[in-house]
Chain A
């Protein structure tokens, strides 16, 4: 697992991909901070995180599209799958590398609360809650995109399908408008990320919502390892 993690991290930073991700991520975050906090004299950070949820649906697939698709295309998966390591640990290695890259980006944004705290009143609980929330969301995003990447050899297909999958994941509760079945509606609302994030947004961290994000992450990591394992049986 550590070997995979190290290789993927190295790849992020020898390839421009890692830098591009960090640059775009921080550019959008900074713009948000400037517009919503600095120009409005606002000490509340939650709008930044709400925006992050949206633009990460575009950014995270670009960061994860390579993870499996490229291995399949270059046939380097033959090395990984015949090495004395379990498929699960390979999947976890890749997941943690993508997660680490995101956390590096997120770490830079800690400057904002520090700045606000120096000159104004900071709602520490709400800020910490939002940070925990966005990490959970990113984990779920990465897990879903990693799963999509395991399905195809093409990075472009992987990225586009991941963006669609994440958009569906985020916008699940909008489907309520198109359905008249109460059972379906309950399911849509239950599965929707936005419903889940509403509590976190106002600074509450219900255990059920934390569990929801961890479950989604876990399920898709499991599915990814199943997909990889299934190739042996094709």
Chain B
């Protein structure tokens, strides 16, 4: 659905996007992840045809975004970083303008606007001036604008920025719902958003794609270790002694002292089954285990690893797994 080949953007001598290529299939929800200034917005602006590329090209539904711009744009709904709203119009007037602007033919205006407003839950503010709406509602109107004309591809630049926690959850659910029939690219620097919404993640850093895969693949790619944090009430030396004696414990160390005796121990295991051995070993010595929880690698860790070290790359082919 979206094909990007060797896309490059230079601002003067500053390389904003450096030779990136990717392919997005129909119906995929893809997250663009990256620190501020990584080139996410620039890439999106190039895919939507708002900016031209210095090199390479992008096609949407088979149409080149610059050479066959009007055809390509017909397939795209775009929410830029700052929603393009006219503050002096009411929501209704604005959406009606967008409907006319996009030359939507296959639907009647009244029904389509009602449908879109229902989808993003702005029915009750339709007669209000956009400038007077709260940030969350402005954002929703921005999303509504992108949805007009039922485009197959939605490109959303930081759709949940500035929303309150409840709204963030609502908008994420909405995007997930929309993704059933559409191809969606959304950019964010909020990691949980990606794991919550996207099937596939593209991590961009300094204009280069440094990782491509599902959230699970990426976390597994950084570390496959099974790590647990156990709170054990016992003397540190004694506990570490017992732990190191158990077969299957790769590494054990005190992470944090809690109370007079005992603390949180970080334990790396060969397999999940080793937990039982730890339980019985501690029970034999009458040392209570107060809690034990998995210390999973989060996308934060992946992100930190990838963006701290320029040479690390994690590219997963969508068909076969494996590090490149």
Contact = CB atoms under 8 A, between A and B. Distances in A.
Contacts of B279: none
Interface stretch (B20-28, B69-77, B208-216): B69-77
Interface in A1-29: 2-4, 6-7, 10-11, 14-15
A167 B88 CA distance: 32
A209 to B, nearest CB: 37
A138 B59 CA distance: 42
A226 interface: no
A78 B80 contact: yes
B101 A85 contact: yes
Contact of A83 (B11, B51, B73): B73
A74 B87 contact: yes
Nearest to B142: A79
Size band of the B side of the interface? 20 to 34
A76 B101 CA distance: 13
A84 interface: yes
A201 to B, nearest CB: 40
Interface in B1-24: 11
A79 to B, nearest CB: 4
A174 interface: no
A79 B81 CA distance: 12
Contact of A3 (B71, B80, B101): B101
Size band of the A side of the interface? 20 to 34
B93 interface: yes
A75 B101 contact: no
Max chain A Cβ within 10 angstroms of own Cβ: one of B78, B80, B100: B100
Contacts of B78: 78-79, 82
Contacts of A6: 97, 100
Interface in A155-206: none
Given A6-B100, A83-B101, A232 B49 contact: yes
A77 B80 CA distance: 11
22 contacts: A3-B97, A3-B100, A3-B101, A6-B97, A7-B97, A74-B87, A75-B80, A75-B82, A76-B85, A78-B45, A78-B50, A78-B80, A79-B98, A80-B84, A80-B101, A82-B50, A82-B73, A83-B101, A84-B73, A84-B102, A233-B52, A234-B51
